[in-house]
Every structure is written in C-alpha cells, then in structure tokens.
Homo-oligomer: A and B are copies of this chain.
Amino acid sequence: MIVQKYGGSSVADAESIKRVAKRIVETRKAGNEVVVAVSAMGDTTDDLLDLAHAVAPIPAPREMDMLLSAGERISMALLAMAIESLGHTARSFTGSQAGMITDAQHGSARIVDVTPVRLREALDEGAIVIVAGFQGFNRDTKDITTLGRGGSDTTAVALAAALDADICEIYTDVDGIFSADPRLVPKAHKIDRITSEEMLELAANGAKVLYIRAVEYARRHGVTLHVRSSFNNNEGTIVYNPTGSEAVVEEPMIAGVATDLSEAKITVVGVPDIPGKAAQIFTLVAKTGANIDMIVQNVSAASTGLTDISFTLPKSEGQQVLTALRADQAEVGFTGLQYDDQIGKLALVGAGMRTNAGVSAKLFTALFEAGINIEMISTSEIRISVVTRADTINDALRVVHTAFGLDADTEAVVHAGTGR
C-alpha cells in the first residue's frame, strides 16, 4: 500500500488534477493499493481566508474550520471524478468520514486517533481512496476541525501509519529535500536519504518543503517518507528512521543548511544577576504563548551585578512579548528592552556531527573568513545554529554550503511555484 499526498500547487487547476489522476492510476496499475491525501486547489485557502476577514474582523474559529474544510472537499471530489473518468473506481472522503479524529482546538487541531474503517472497506472493494487533507473532526463537539499549516502532510502520514502503508509519498513542486534552498544556493544538491531527526532540525530551522509536525508524526510511528515532485518521475528524497547499525554507517557528517528570516531578537537589558530572574522572565514570556527559539545569557559584568538576556522568537509574536515584559518591568527589575527584527538564522544540520569534532570550528572559520559577524550561537546534538545580520544571511548560507563540501557539480533546476 502506498499513501500519496498532493499539495495545492499539484492540483491548482483542471489540467493539474487530470495529470495527478493519471499518476495515481499508474500507481494503482503497478499493483498497489492507493490512498491519497489532497490539499485545496492552489490559492483556494487564501481566497477563503480573505472572504472570512471581509465578513468578520475576527472570524469565529469553529466557523473558520467549517469554511476552510470546503477547499479540500472541492479538490478531492474533482480528483476522484478525474480518476473515475480514466476507468478506475475512486471514492473521496472528508476528514470525518475518513475517521481523522482530533482534539477540539480549531485551526490547529491535533490528531488523537485515526479510525479508517470506511477507507479499509473502500480499499477492499478495489477503490482508490481520496481523503481530504488538513481536516478532521472532534468526537465530543461533533464539529469539523482543521490541523493548521502543513496539515495535509500530517493527514498523509497519519493515514500511512493507521493503514500500515509501505511508504508515504509527499508530492510537491520541487524534486525533494536539498542541502540548501536552491533558490538561494544554485549548487545545492538533492539529498537522496536523510534521517527523520535531521529532517526535523532542517524543518525547524526554515526548510519549507516538509512541516515539522508531519515529520514528528512519521518518526514517532515509523513511517518512511518519499518527498518528490509531481511534475516528473525523478526519485526524490527518502526520509527514514535509522535502526541499529544504519544509524552509524549511513549518516554523512552534514545533511544540509537551512536559513530563516522570520525571527526577531529581544534583549532584556540590565537584569539583576541573581537566581530566579531568568525563570521570572521566561514565565512572563510563556504566558503570552510565544514560541521562543534561541536563548543567550551574557556573562555578568562583575562591576554592575547586571546581565543581558537575549532570545529569538517569530516576528509575529514580538509585540505581545514586549508588552508583557514592559508591564512587569518594575517587578523583574531590568533596565530596558531592545527589539531587533533585522536578524537571520542559519542552521547546519547533520546526524554525523555527533561523532565529528571540529564542525563548530569549521563553521565559525568559514563565516569569519567571509567577514560575517556571529551574534548568537546555539547547538543541539545534530545541529549548530548561528544568528547574523539579516542582510548577510544569504552570503553566510553560500559560504557554509561550500565550506562543508555540499556543492553539487551542476546547478539545481528550480521549478516555478511556492516551494510548498
């Protein structure tokens, strides 16, 4: 059994839908059971969002999910029709019909159970099954929910896990996962195989092809992904879960480099260097629901007994965090706040760096030689991230890509499209 996911750009219009239908039929003809998760056509979701905001300044979340779920209903029905007109049996199912059960968090619901009873029946009758991506339903409220950004990837992975599929193919408008964004690094190379752990770090640090949640779900449930283009038949990138000796043998030192310009840096200046102050600050921040990424605390200047604490977070969450901190400035006792939204983040990812010393040194040297200043550093077992000025991030990306021997011999072909 193969689960396939087609994104919005792969089903943007009638011609694209017919092309995807042919590809699905070929997969069926090759002897596979086929289950397809499909996104809304092209810009449908954005158009629906525009309509919602035109009728209501702050649309009710339950109704927003009811509205947005119409997008996949359209694309899945059209795809099923197109397959049927090729002489194969197809049946489309909404999230609730497919047994995609979620919590009640409208707009970013989490899958709590998958009960694909109707899908199994349809497969047993020989049908190709088309499922609306991105949507589910809550058993208690009986309301429709949506899974949030990247939801269709998550739908596909959850179906693959629940139906015990051999592989989950994620079709997109690029050829796979690249060692860096090929629009920024023309010599980026397509990665043939990458561990889900590395993929998680790349996705968390700005790589847009796969969403974190889907990769997490795949890792937790042992689902192997194949990220590939719906515009050709090239092999894409396999995202796998290494077991036993694989974990050591197969991993190259560095898998890829990702960059991210969506974050800002807040510096809390003049924090009394006494125990509990950092906890106090980040408790305040946590109450806003903001997603903190990197945190750096400078060494305290002995003469003043004050220190600075900096952290990064999505720009969209910057103002609310500043407001929260200002409100409690007297109580915490810091002297000021700095806000900087001109930063860029670069992350070097590779499971192989676990067993390789000198990766940090090589990274810092490459950036130094290019005259790029490093403002913050953060590391995990398989990742090193640095913050630089935003206007130097693309240069940083290219020199690091070259320094770690990631450049391909030829330039990557970049397809038109969103990269999503």
Q: Which A residues lie at the B interface, using CB under 8 A?
A: 14, 17-18, 21, 48, 51-52, 54-60, 62-64, 66-67, 69-71, 73-74, 76-82, 84-85, 90-92, 94, 97, 118, 142
Known A55-B21, A97-B142: A73·B81 in contact at CB below 8 Å: no
Known A70-B73, A84-B63: A55·B14 in contact at CB below 8 Å: yes
- With a cutoff of 8 Å between Cβ atoms, the chain B residues found around residue A71 in the complex are 70
Q: In whole Å, how far is A349's beta carbon from the nearest beta carbon of chain B?
A: 40
Q: A244 to B39: give the CA distance in the assembly, Å.
A: 58
- With a cutoff of 8 Å between Cβ atoms, the chain B residues found around residue A74 in the complex are 48, 51, 67, 70
The 6 closest A-B pairs by CB, nearest first: A14-B54, A67-B77, A56-B85, A66-B77, A56-B81, A55-B82
Question: In the complex the two chains form, is A85's CB within 8 Å of B57's CB?
Answer: yes
Q: In whole Å, how far is A36's beta carbon from the nearest beta carbon of chain B?
A: 13
Which of B18, B56, B73 lies in contact with A67, CB distance below 8 A?
A: B73
Known A18-B55, A51-B78: A84·B70 in contact at CB below 8 Å: no
Question: In the complex the two chains form, is A58's CB within 8 Å of B78's CB?
Answer: no
Q: In whole Å, how far is A215's beta carbon from the nearest beta carbon of chain B?
A: 30
A-B contact pairs, 23 of them (CB 8 A): A14-B54, A18-B55, A48-B74, A51-B74, A51-B78, A52-B81, A55-B78, A55-B81, A56-B84, A58-B85, A60-B80, A60-B90, A62-B91, A63-B78, A63-B81, A63-B91, A66-B94, A67-B73, A67-B77, A67-B78, A67-B81, A69-B73, A70-B73
Question: In the complex the two chains form, is B80's CB within 8 Å of A63's CB?
Answer: yes
Q: A81 to B14: give the CA distance in the assembly, Å.
A: 30
- Of A14, A56, A73, A118, most buried by chain B (CB within 10 Å of CB) is A56
- Of A62, A74, A76, A94, most buried by chain B (CB within 10 Å of CB) is A74
- With a cutoff of 8 Å between Cβ atoms, the chain B residues found around residue A59 in the complex are 81, 84-85
Q: A128 to B59: give the CA distance in the assembly, Å.
A: 16
Q: In whole Å, how far is A97's beta carbon from the nearest beta carbon of chain B?
A: 7
- With a cutoff of 8 Å between Cβ atoms, the chain B residues found around residue A66 in the complex are 73, 76-77, 80, 92, 94
Q: A81 to B64: give the CA distance in the assembly, Å.
A: 8
Q: In whole Å, how far is A52's beta carbon from the nearest beta carbon of chain B?
A: 6
Q: In whole Å, how far is A265's beta carbon from the nearest beta carbon of chain B?
A: 36
- With a cutoff of 8 Å between Cβ atoms, the chain B residues found around residue A54 in the complex are 14
Contacts A18-B55, A69-B73 supplied; 18 other A-B pairs, CB < 8 Å: A14-B54, A21-B55, A52-B78, A55-B78, A55-B79, A56-B81, A59-B81, A59-B84, A60-B84, A63-B77, A63-B78, A63-B81, A64-B77, A64-B81, A66-B73, A67-B77, A67-B78, A118-B142
Q: A79 to B96: give the CA distance in the assembly, Å.
A: 23
Q: A48 to B75: give the CA distance in the assembly, Å.
A: 10
Which of B57, B63, B82, B118 lies in contact with A92, CB distance below 8 A?
A: B63
- With a cutoff of 8 Å between Cβ atoms, the chain B residues found around residue A81 in the complex are 52, 55-56, 59-60, 63-64, 67
Q: A92 to B143: give the CA distance in the assembly, Å.
A: 10
Q: In whole Å, how far is A385's beta carbon from the nearest beta carbon of chain B?
A: 40
